[in-house]
Chains A and B, each alone.
Chain A
């Protein structure tokens, strides 16, 4: 492999690695967002259960 070929390969590698790192960052963010959605869904369910318990606790008459 000549020096010129090595530099050309390096230039393309830099672009490829940059795109790969970007995709990895987006993937990590997506994982965090999924975790957040699950946490919020749990929170919303807990709220609904709290409300239904409150409603049952209130006596009629």
Chain B
């Protein structure tokens, strides 16, 4: 338990340090391109979106482990990862809308496949919680949620590739087959911002998971004492 607590502390410290470094790089190092000051949103909007994909993917992986190997605690880990994914997903939608308002003059564009597919993915995983809390706790609920989480993971590559498969290139394409379409300083800043967002998600995941595990243990203890 102590080693686990140390890991969480280290992860929180790493996330904080990387976050400070990313903000410093964004505002004092990365050059401003033709997108203007609005480009500063990109450094957090894209890493947050990638982190949401990572969380959903991690949740699906844990769901697979639950169904395949019956790994103890995998259901709870899958749930917490999906919860993180939904938080980061909502931040992606909000920061993306703010960026769109400045760049396109509109908060939302329904003709953009990337936006709509991300919204579908977000709503799909938001519905996961309705499913989870509409079924009595137990193995049946765990299996049902794991299957649902696995279905959703199919949407991730579609959502990710939609921007490249789309016929209307409204959404800017920064990463192509020829590599990142930005200056080295901008790419370095982006990498630090991505690392900081993933570290933040990892820290929040571990903290939430620790809280949920403790809650379960206390529930078991209460039942044993009553």
Contact = CB atoms under 8 A, between A and B. Distances in A.
Contact of B98 (A2, A7, A26, A36): A7
B218 interface: yes
- Interface residue tally of chain A, by bracket? 20 to 34
B127 interface: no
B208 A15 contact: no
B205 to A, nearest CB: 11
A22 B204 contact: yes
B218 A15 contact: no
A19 interface: yes
B61 to A, nearest CB: 23
Contact of B218 (A12, A40, A47): A40
A43 B218 CA distance: 12
Contact of A14 (B91, B102, B207, B211): B91
A11 interface: yes
Contact of B44 (A3, A15, A33, A43): A15
Contacts of B41: 7-8, 11
Nearest to B23: A12
Contacts, number: 62
B contacts with A: majority SS: helix
Contacts of A29: 211, 215
Interface in A2-59: 2-5, 7-8, 10-12, 14-15, 18-19, 22, 26, 29-30, 33, 36-37, 40, 43-44, 47
Nearest to B42: A11
A22 B12 CA distance: 14
Contacts of B102: 3-4, 7
Given A26-B211, A29-B211, A8 B40 contact: yes
Nearest to A4: B37
- Interface residue tally of chain B, by bracket? 20 to 34
A43 B225 CA distance: 7
B214 interface: yes
A58 B67 CA distance: 53
16 contacts: A4-B36, A7-B38, A7-B98, A7-B102, A10-B98, A11-B45, A11-B95, A12-B44, A14-B91, A14-B95, A18-B91, A36-B222, A40-B222, A40-B225, A43-B222, A44-B225
Interface of B: 36-38, 40-41, 44-45, 48, 87, 90-91, 94-95, 98-99, 101-102, 200, 204, 207-208, 211, 214-215, 218, 221-222, 225-226
